[in-house]
Amino acid sequence: MDGLPGQPITYSDSVRICNNGTASHNIKLEIYSSNYYGNASTTLDYINITIWNDGNVVDFLRLDPHGDDGGARSATNFNTLAGNDSWWRVQWDILWFSNATTGDSVNIVLKITVES
């Protein structure tokens, strides 16, 4: 996902987490790893990853290398996703500082844990 220097960008429906079964499951999402390339450790302001359910925030993650946007949050709590084709929308909000260049990037690996 691309961002623009000095301008927040939102990917409002980039990923969906779906439960096609009949039983509810507890789900936890976490930033398993993050790697900065170029000068990204100084030019990235934040990345917020928010889980939504029917217009309500379920939980969120935050990559905040400078700690100035509320600090990093690398894991959600376990949250219950109902069965019967229920789904959550995962939104990404990205803000780079105005001095970011196309050589700056971040690689994020997310891990999802499901408890029956």
Full domain range(s) for residue 28: 9-115
Counted domains in the chain = 1
pLDDT at 100 over 90: yes
Alpha-carbon torsion (89, 96, 31, 48), positive or negative = negative
pTM of the model: 0.90
* Separation between Cα atoms, residue 103 and residue 80, nearest integer Å: 39
The 10s digit of each residue's pLDDT in 12-33 is 988 899 999 899 999 999 999 9
What pLDDT is stored for residue 2 in this prediction? 80
Domain membership flag for residue 4: no
What pLDDT is stored for residue 3 in this prediction? 84
Domain membership flag for residue 106: yes
Domain membership flag for residue 1: no
Domain membership flag for residue 2: no
Tell me the CATH number at 111.
Answer: 2.60.120
The DSSP symbol for 102 reads: T
Q: Taking all residues of the chain, what is their mean pLDDT, rounded to a whole number?
A: 92
Domain membership flag for residue 93: yes
